[in-house]
Amino acid sequence: MQIQISNQKPLESNVDFLVIASFEDESTAVYQELDQALNQAISHKANKLKFKAKAKELLSLDTLGQIKANTVLVVGLGKKDKYSAILLRDICAIVAREAVKQKATHVGLAIPTATHPQYELSLGIELGLYKFDTFISVDPENPKHLVESFTLFELNTSIDAQEIKKGQTIAQSVNLARQLVNEPANVCTPTKLAQTAQSLEQYPNTSVLVWGRDKIVEEGMGGLIAVSQGATEEPKFIHISYKPQTSRGRLVFVGKGLTFDSGGLSIKPAKGMEEMFIDMGGAAAVLGALTAIVQLQLDIEVHGLIGACENMPDGNSFRPSDILTMYNKKTVEVLNTDAEGRLVLADALHYGTKLNPDGMVDLATLTGACMVALGTNYCGLFSDNDDWAQSVLNAAQAAGEKAWRMPLDEELFSTVKSKRADITNLGGPWGGAITAALFLKFFKGDSTWCHLDIAGPTHMSKENGYISEGGTGFGVLTLLELAKSFKKA
Ligand code: BES
Ligand code: ZN
Ligand code: ZN
């Protein structure tokens, strides 16, 4: 699919599907021109259907040969003072989906861009076109419809081709994360995550290190060893490092990469277990973000770390009551093998700390409790450093991803204390997202650190604006924004 820029008048262009945007409180010039060319057919239909051009509202109309395009789609931008970059992205995604639905081939898009980053246009289009259909056989009677091109009309502002290219690069990175989340555990294995990471070595300043089972054992990553020991799939520890010539600082991103979480011997009930192929959403976000960062060659050093494995019940599984010696030599009493993410992350965080980062962020589908607390749209954000928490919150907001700061209540630390080891992997009955975060804090050393519990937003049951159904790629845009905006204190 091609995205091109045109300074033609939208009405004179050869597109077959013409999309024009209009505000609720002030119709755009192109809306008026088009309405006139169609003998007021648009305003007539708008009146009849009470179409008000509210944000994301759609009105479509066959032109019956009156203009070159055979379909016109009017899309509402809402009130002019509420028009934001994220709304622009949402609208482009909604329009792209509608174009596929209406079997459009060449789409023209006339939408004001003066006040927002232009990369949101192509980002929205490409995010809207993503659909997980890899495993659906093609029906020869009804083949999948593909839009061939999008033409972006320059209305009053010129559009920068570089920005459009950038939006496509970013979207491909988010869509990569979505695809990895959507792929089932028999396809997306720890080995596949490692191969995906290794494919980034083709870009300048980028190298990738992968440890298999033997090396993980040799290094003593006790958490990753224990969680993976019931599985046949080989665990992988993945380190992507991107070191440009000039750098504003050093960031470390850490992702939970459980390609399947059955719960292990503390096995999950059947209902809910089938969803646990998404338990590598954190790893997917890190891979997506690194993919964008190395392609854009940002001027900041970034390391992506992933602990990848499967949590399975077996004769070799780790057991509730086992005492593990972790990568940092601290010991953990396992009280529930389903609280496995924190064990894998603990080792990755210790590895990260040794890189001496200016800032570290981990992303993990860590607790059901976080979804109980915040619903599924927000991720929980935990940090013992107010400045770093604020930087990550700001990045999330600029990225259009919802994050909410949660308390790292030290008083709950007593619930993860163990009589038999340094700490246990299970907290008390309340505040499960918090006790999980406190466990991670025990392993992050003196690094400036922030934990994002993304159990909710990693996966959605329904599409919403630019957000896709299924894997969402949540976190990619926040990490990218953080890398773009990071300034050393
Ligand atoms: N992967 C799950 C958390 C999860 C639940 C992610 C639902 C996405 C959707 C995690 O490993 C887990 O099982 N957590 C337990 C922790 C408990 C045993 C302390 C949980 O949340 O129930
Ligand atoms: Zn679990
Ligand atoms: Zn898990």
Residue type, 373: A
Tell me, in angstroms, the distance from the centre of ligand 1 to residue 417's CA.
Answer: 20
Given a cut of 90, whether residue 156 has pLDDT beyond it is no
Query: Measuring from atom 5 of ligand 1, which residue has the nearest CA?
Result: 368
Residue tagged active-site, from 89, 166, 236, 342: 342
pLDDT at 392: 98
Given a cut of 90, whether residue 489 has pLDDT beyond it is no
Given a cut of 90, whether residue 384 has pLDDT beyond it is yes
Give the DSSP per-residue string, 419-481: SSSSEES---SS-HHHHHHHHHHTTSTTS-EEEEE-TTTTEESS-BTTBPSEE--TTHHHHHH
Residues 190-237: tens digit of each pLDDT: 999 999 999 999 999 999 999 999 999 999 999 999 999 999 999 999
Is residue 262 within 6 Å of ligand 1 at its C-beta? no
Rounded CA-CA distance 191/178 in Å is 18
Residues 6+ apart with CB under 8 A from 65: none
Is residue 268 flagged as an active site residue? yes
Query: Tokens in use for 307?
Result: 């602990």
Residues 246-258: tens digit of each pLDDT: 999 999 999 999 9
Is residue 259 within 6 Å of ligand 1 at its C-beta? no
Structural contact between residues 353 and 254, judged by C-beta atoms closer than 8 angstroms: no
The bound ligand whose nearest atom lies closest to the alpha carbon of 258 is 3
**Interior CA angle at 235 toward 231 and 236, to 5°?**
170
Q: Residue 211 region, left (φ>0) first, then alpha (ψ -120 to 50), else beta?
A: beta
Higher pLDDT: 29 or 216? It is 216
Rounded CA-CA distance 68/149 in Å is 16
| Nearest in space to 85 (alpha carbons), one of 64, 113, 63, 66 | 113
pLDDT at 406: 98
Given a cut of 90, whether residue 57 has pLDDT beyond it is yes
Is residue 383 within 6 Å of ligand 1 at its C-beta? no
Rounded CA-CA distance 296/169 in Å is 8
Q: What are phi and psi of 193, to 5 degrees?
A: -60, -40
Percent of the chain with pLDDT over 70: 100
Q: How far is CA 376 from the centre of its chain?
A: 14
Tell me, in angstroms, the distance from the centre of ligand 3 to residue 487's CA.
Answer: 33
Indicate the top mutation candidate among 227, 279, 372 to test ligand 1's pocket, ranked by most ligand atoms within 8 A of CB: 279
Indicate the top mutation candidate among 367, 423, 438 to test ligand 1's pocket, ranked by most ligand atoms within 8 A of CB: 367
Structural contact between residues 34 and 26, judged by C-beta atoms closer than 8 angstroms: no
pLDDT at 293: 98
Helix (H) or strand (E) holding 386: helix 386-399
Judged by DSSP in three states, 215 sits in helix
Is residue 455 within 6 Å of ligand 1 at its C-beta? yes
Tell me, in angstroms, the distance from the centre of ligand 2 to residue 36's CA.
Answer: 60
Query: Measuring from atom 3 of ligand 1, which residue has the nearest CA?
Result: 367
Is residue 462 flagged as an active site residue? no
Structural contact between residues 4 and 152, judged by C-beta atoms closer than 8 angstroms: yes
Residues 275-306: tens digit of each pLDDT: 999 999 999 999 999 999 999 999 999 999 99
Rounded CA-CA distance 305/299 in Å is 19
Structural contact between residues 229 and 320, judged by C-beta atoms closer than 8 angstroms: no
Given a cut of 90, whether residue 310 has pLDDT beyond it is yes
Q: What is the dihedral of CA 396, 482, 380, 266, to 10 degrees?
A: 130
Query: Measuring from atom 14 of ligand 1, which residue has the nearest CA?
Result: 367
Is residue 322 within 6 Å of ligand 1 at its C-beta? no
Residues 402-426: tens digit of each pLDDT: 999 999 999 999 999 999 999 999 9
Tell me, in angstroms, the distance from the centre of ligand 3 to residue 372's CA.
Answer: 16
pLDDT at 215: 98
Is residue 279 within 6 Å of ligand 1 at its C-beta? yes
pLDDT at 115: 85
The pLDDT of 360-379, averaged and rounded, is 98
Residues 6+ apart with CB under 8 A from 317: 229, 230, 264, 265, 337
Tell me, in angstroms, the distance from the centre of ligand 1 to residue 210's CA.
Answer: 26
Residue type, 230: G
The pLDDT of 167-175, averaged and rounded, is 98
Given a cut of 90, whether residue 114 has pLDDT beyond it is no
pLDDT at 12: 93
Tell me, in angstroms, the distance from the centre of ligand 1 to residue 303's CA.
Answer: 26
- Which band of pLDDT confidence, cut at 50, 70 and 90, is reported for residue 169? very high
Percent of the chain with pLDDT over 90: 97
Residue tagged active-site, from 79, 248, 268, 330: 268
Given a cut of 90, whether residue 94 has pLDDT beyond it is yes
- Which band of pLDDT confidence, cut at 50, 70 and 90, is reported for residue 113? confident
pLDDT at 386: 98
Q: Residue 253 region, left (φ>0) first, then alpha (ψ -120 to 50), else beta?
A: beta
Is residue 340 within 6 Å of ligand 1 at its C-beta? yes
Is residue 336 within 6 Å of ligand 1 at its C-beta? yes
